[in-house]
Amino acid sequence: MEILGYLASIIIGLSLGLIGGGGSILAVPILVYLFKIHPEQATSYSLFIVGITAMIGSYSHYRLGNLKIKFALVFAIPSIFSVLLVRKFVLHLIPDILLDLPYLVLTKNLLIMVVFAILMIAASISMLQKSKKEIASPEINLQMVGFIGFLVGLIIGFLGAGGGFLIIPALLFFANLPIKQAVGTSLFIISINSILGFVGDIITGIVLDYQLLFTISIMAILGLLLGTQLSKKIDGAKLKPAFGWFVLVMGIYIITKELFF
């Protein structure tokens, strides 16, 4: 299963390279099901893997002129605050068993995976929608960009998700950025939030297998480099529906596995 996991890790970076998001949607299920990592620990692994991969991707976009620092900071600063808030003060306060009934035991691990699956399904639906919804608004609403940044930070903190599938629409609709600039800026925001969230976990004393962590990260980076090259040749609009169906199937699989098996 580990060999399959390493191969699947390439898809994490491939997704980030092609569409600027979706890495964590893939990372957590890969870590949990293929590497048998505890779901809460998997969010920490995911933060580093997605963060370091997105950082390299954002540098490539910076060289291409697709990174808009102003909008990145407006989004990132409030999201950093909410990421650290959740990782340091909220996540560890959630009890291991939330609900214990005769026919239902709701654990924190189950909650993390089910919420993640619901988020995956919601993201897949947005990716399968028609392209007309991707047209940017002519008005720039920096306050809304910052507010959405705070909300996305909460999701990143709880699920270990990069949030690219939420960041990109926010930059399109409220920052009025073209799609390529939204992708480059999104990668920069993802890298900041994810790395700082990971640092927060290290400070709290979480124990990780660093050899495994770095190996998966290298595979993801290889996928990123491949995805970046492919993005220059393939229309992203054609890739989104295929990726959307893939994420939808994975989300349904996770919910089915966690609730019924």
Mean pLDDT by 10 residues, the chain (261 residues): 89 84 81 90 91 92 88 92 84 85 82 82 75 52 87 79 74 80 88 87 88 96 89 69 78 85 71
Both tokens of residue 126?
């947005």
pLDDT in the model for residue 170:
79
Query: Parallel, antiparallel, or unpaired: how do β-strands 97-101 and 104-107 relate?
Result: antiparallel
pLDDT in the model for residue 164:
74
- Alpha-carbon distance of 22 to 186, in angstroms, equals 11
- Alpha-carbon distance of 194 to 161, in angstroms, equals 8
- Alpha-carbon distance of 33 to 54, in angstroms, equals 23
pLDDT in the model for residue 110:
86
Assess contact for 16 and 22: CB atoms under 8 A.
yes
Strands (E), the chain: 97-101, 104-107
How far is CA 150 from each of CA 15, 78, 158, 191, 232, rounded to the nearest angstrom?
Answer: 24, 5, 13, 15, 32
- Alpha-carbon distance of 177 to 170, in angstroms, equals 9
Residues with Cβ < 8 Å from 65, sequence gap 6 or more?
none
Sign of the C-alpha dihedral, residues 225, 72, 30, 197? positive
Tokens 């991969």 belong to 53
pLDDT in the model for residue 160:
65
pLDDT in the model for residue 132:
45
105-142 per-position pLDDT tens digit: 888 888 888 887 887 788 778 767 764 444 445 567 78
Number of C-beta neighbours around residue 93 at 10 A: 6
**Residue-level length of the chain:** 261
pLDDT in the model for residue 162:
66
Number of C-beta neighbours around residue 90 at 10 A: 13
Assess contact for 241 and 128: CB atoms under 8 A.
yes
Task: Please give the model's pTM, rounded to 2 decimal places.
Answer: 0.77
Q: For residue 72, which phi and psi values (nearest 5 degrees)? A: -60, -45
pLDDT in the model for residue 159:
74
